[in-house]
Structure 1
Amino acid sequence: MFTRSELEIKTTAELKDLCRRYGLKPTGNAGYKVSYITSLMAFPAIALHQMNEGKGLRRLTFDAYQNIGTALDQMNSPTDE
């Protein structure tokens, strides 16, 4: 995901936007960059751990991918009108 040095050069507003994108809350006081950095650094490990335990997001089966593809093909694409 991100290295600590990549996160430390970002502004507090940019870190806040990243946390909002991934649905994360800052750890501690939201006024400090380190609160957002801590949450963003822990996010991938926690997500993988929950995935292995069967919580949260799950891996799709090949059949599910095919069904999604079929549904998208049937919906076609929007027109300019």
Structure 2
Amino acid sequence: MMIRNYEQKCKAIERAIGALQIEGREIIEKCFFEQKRDKGINELDLRIPKSSYDFHKNQAIDTVTFILKAAAVI
């Protein structure tokens, strides 16, 4: 039962991340899955200005949080 719940939560997270725009998806993946620091992501990996980076990151986190709350995952 616990493994099934875990699998369902993982699938919900994958779907929520898949619903993001490309920039938001890349930021979330690098921040939370690859554990990279914000400065390295926006300056080295994505090469976008800090203001755009902050906007995309905040929007991505809000979107994923909303989707997971609606799905009763968190």
| Same-fold call, TM cutoff 0.5 | no
Could you say which structure has the larger radius of gyration? 1
- Give the helix-richer structure, 1 or 2: 2
